[in-house]
Amino acid sequence: MSTQLDVNNVIKHIELLYTSKDASQINLVQEQLQQFQKHEHSYELGIELLKNQNNQVRYFGALTITVYLNTYGSNEFLIKFKELSYNVQQLMQENFNGNLFIIRKLLSNLSNIYIQNFENIDPILAFISILTKNENESVQNFLLNLSDLKQIQVLILFFEILAEEIQKLITFSPELHLLIHQSLFLHLLKLYDFLLNQYSNLSTDTLLLSLDCLSAWVIYISKAEARSEQRYTNDLNLLITFTMKKLGEDFDVEKMESYNKTFTVVTEFIDNIPRVINPFKSKLSEIFFGTGNFGITFLNSIFSDQDLLEEYRMEIDNYINLLVNFLDSNIIHMTRHLLDESTYNILKTLIALTDANGRPIIDENISFQLISFWEDFCNTLIDDEDVIKEILHNDQKSIDEYNQRRTSILMEVAVIYFKKIQRFSNETTQEFTRYRTVVSDLFILFYTLLGIPLFATICDSIGSDLIISEAAIYLLHKITVDIRFYDDEDDDDTRNMPLINQFDNLFSKNLLELIKNNLRDQHITISLLNLMSILPFFYKSEAGNKYLASSFEFLFDIINNNPDERLSLIASKTVFKICQNAENKLIPFLPQLELILAEMLRNQTIDGLIRERITFSYMSIVRSQKNQKELGDKIFAILQIIIQQKQHVNEEHNEDYVTSLIACINEIGKACQYPEEIEDYFNPTQLEEFKSYWSVDPLNIRSLILESLKIFSLDSDFLSQNTIVTEKCCYILKSGLNETIPGPFTFNLNLIFQYIIAKASRSNTASIDYIHQLLISVILTNFKLIEPVQLEQVLTKVILDIESMIKLDEDLIKSSLDVFTSIIELKPSLLIYSSDIFNYILQFALNAFVKSETSIIKSTIKFWNTLAVLKKGNQKDQEYIRNFITNDSTGTSLGFKLIENLTLAFILSPRSNLDYYYPLLRTFISKYSIEFKKWVSVVLETNQVGKDSLTKDEINQFIGKLMLTRGQRVANNVLKEFWLKINKLVEY
């Protein structure tokens, strides 16, 4: 193709790209331009485009050269380097600032040429030789004989871009980093030595460019040190001195951009190469905090002028970020010298900054930025406590003085943040919510250091001012959650007494009445509900017990009478948690709870989750009495109410309500579950009463439960297809499976099987999985009591009769396999002698090998492995299965079919699934070695699968290596090598 023709064609495409408004046309143009850029002559095309007067065309030319260099590399690199450097020089002379975006891209191309040929070119010397037209030009002479400000600026820019491009490298070259340290970095030092000597004469643009360049080099150096043996420690003093120079001058608001860049570079040094800052720490501290120096003058000037404060908010944030990073590097020194006035003055400055005027996040970010400093400060105080005592020579007077100052500082900061987290409107943003969360974490640290006095101060702030009270309650909740995290089961009132006393004082101030009169304020109500939900330890105490009545009245008033559903849900959760953890203290409230629950069970408008939580809460308290007659009476009463609602089961608009009613029965089952060590829970008399009562079940509770299941999940056409109803019914029947003695939810095995059979024919696909899981649970807990005939009837209904449904659903294929495995694993005789159904199951499990879903693969392998090993089978069972697998009376044994399906599935499996197949293959190598060797040989010789055809010798060699492993773990490696070979892959 003609280059000139190509150029014209490309220019037309570029013009179309920037002028067309048709999205489809733009996409086509972009695709065509990308083809031009990838052409083997795209470098020449790029050079031609750079000659155009249109900057968009020229930039596309520079970009095209980038694509060429990345695609084809840089052959004839010296010629290309010079050619591109000339282009940079021409663009500089024409209009440096106007052409800067093109210049940057060309300098990036020069950097890439250097990276690809670093052993053969010094890019800085090569570049300045073009600018000066002197092939032997040195950096020193170039700087001494500058004829144009643009030359120094473009050199700085080139240094910056070199550092940025080298950072992008994925592959690591120690030689490159060594050469940079020995050459480019030395050139950089000469450049900054010159800039430092000329500092007072530098233009603002030049200074800003030099700071950007330093930022890029600091990041490069940190990465180079991490990945090479090069170290830059002392070499960086000149660069740090140059960076700090601006901060040594008198503050001038007109130079804010220069200051801001300086803040960034100093922060980069501290963050990325902290050790090089050590010699400068004293100087920086003086700059930041010394009276009359830059830092204090800068802050005083900005904070005294609201206009400046708003205009330079980003610059202030950048400066605060610098301070936090600097102080974090010096935090141990600060905490160990808290009594030094210089340290104290720094902390007073930080406290003043923390107390910046305005609403956090909206008006000021400073307090948010300083949280990390105060967190580190607190953590260092905690970790360093013993060391500090040693520093103070264990002198009690000094220690008291130190602690007094520490307490004073922390309390002052706590007061500031307490004000900051107070809501400033009813609408709180996500950012402010996050701010409060971070502050609450800080208060947890404050509490660790300040203890109960801080807690008491927060409690004392609760009063008539709702905004202040809400913030205080919010913090009390967060702190208490942390305190109780490891002590949730600790009911030692002596240990908990300090907290109990504080909450006693708090509730004695009519706290509940205060909130009750202001329920419209959602924030304070939610904060109080959250706090109450973690106070069972308080309610169980003698001091807290007297507030249970008022607390329950408050909570149920919200649940029953508040139109805000969110508040009702949170209140019900609070009731649930209190009942869960303080149930034996709530027995006096049973009559009140009974009335409330009865109303909720009948009231269709109550949220289902609330109804279920209250049911559980009520029954937990009833069960805690350990009175079986009382328990039976209460369950009977609830079931009667639920059954009375059966007129609603066919009303589709009441589906949520009736679903909730069956869920309430499930909640009764959960609440009635006793500890595994039931003999430790009951005394002998109570245990005997328990056994006696539920063996007779005088009120026929179990029958009522089963009747409820029938009404809600079988008799109703639309509820029988409701997955949640099926799930809850299955959970109800599971409730008593693990019980060792009769209870309200211990059902006759036949009745459970009858339900399973009836439900399977009345369920949708999603529900069958729950039925399968119930069946597995029954097998796990009652396999000794199950008869083969019973099991065969159930399996026929829950698998064979709905085969068409199961085959279309991956989850049901898996769950069916899991049902079979659970039987084989625990009592194989229940299944293996039932010829028809067992043959069906074997074929089902063989067919499952074609599935590629990981869950099915795992369940399939587990089934066959369990069958082959037959751990729980007796000798008769094992002989039967071995004969069954190896019998070749039909010409093709089960074992052969299995190995054929297994081998083919293994070969076609993705690499990530290979581990699942190894156990079964190893089992057959060890248990059926003779047969396996023959079977796998036939399979590999008669089936062409994978990507590589194996010769007979290769097959024999593989089988030989495999059999030598005798099924040990080393077989995994042989199998993996085989899989890689047959699929034409290599190990990575």
Using one digit for the tens of pLDDT, what is the confidence trace for 479-524?
Answer: 999 998 765 555 556 678 999 999 999 999 888 988 888 777 788 9
Spatial distance between the Cα atoms of 85 and 121, rounded to a whole number of angstroms:
14
How large a percentage of the chain has pLDDT more than 70?
97
Spatial distance between the Cα atoms of 928 and 279, rounded to a whole number of angstroms:
74
Q: Check residue 173 and give its pLDDT.
A: 83
Q: 3-class SS at 448?
A: helix
Q: Where does the pLDDT of residue 1 fall: very low under 50, low under 70, confident under 90, or very high at 90 and above?
A: very low
- Determine how many CB atoms are found less than 10 A away from the CB of residue 515: 21
Secondary structure E strands in 537-580: none
Structure tokens at 451: 């203890």
User: Does 448 have pLDDT greater than 90?
Assistant: yes
The whole-number average pLDDT for the span 709-737 is: 93
Q: 3-class SS at 517?
A: coil
User: What are the φ/ψ torsions at residue 299 (nearest 5 degrees)?
Assistant: -65, -45
**pLDDT tens per residue across span 382-420:** 999 889 999 988 889 999 999 999 999 999 999 999 999
Spatial distance between the Cα atoms of 449 and 404, rounded to a whole number of angstroms:
12
Q: Compute the mean pLDDT over every residue in the chain, rounded to the nearest whole number.
A: 91
Residues ≥6 apart with Cβ < 8 Å to 20? 26, 29
Amino acid in position 222: S
Q: Where does the pLDDT of residue 891 fall: very low under 50, low under 70, confident under 90, or very high at 90 and above?
A: low
Structure tokens at 794: 């159930």
**pLDDT tens per residue across span 947-964:** 667 788 888 999 999 999
Alpha helices in 785-834 (DSSP H): 788-795, 803-807, 810-826
User: Does 889 have pLDDT greater than 70?
Assistant: no
User: What are the φ/ψ torsions at residue 338 (nearest 5 degrees)?
Assistant: -65, -25
Q: How far is CA 831 from CA 732, 754, 822, in A?
A: 27, 19, 11
User: Does 16 have pLDDT greater than 80?
Assistant: no
Q: Check residue 5 and give its pLDDT.
A: 43
Q: Check residue 3 and give its pLDDT.
A: 46
Amino acid in position 628: Q
Q: Check residue 988 and give its pLDDT.
A: 44
Residue with tokens 């024409």: 94
User: What are the φ/ψ torsions at residue 229 (nearest 5 degrees)?
Assistant: -95, 0
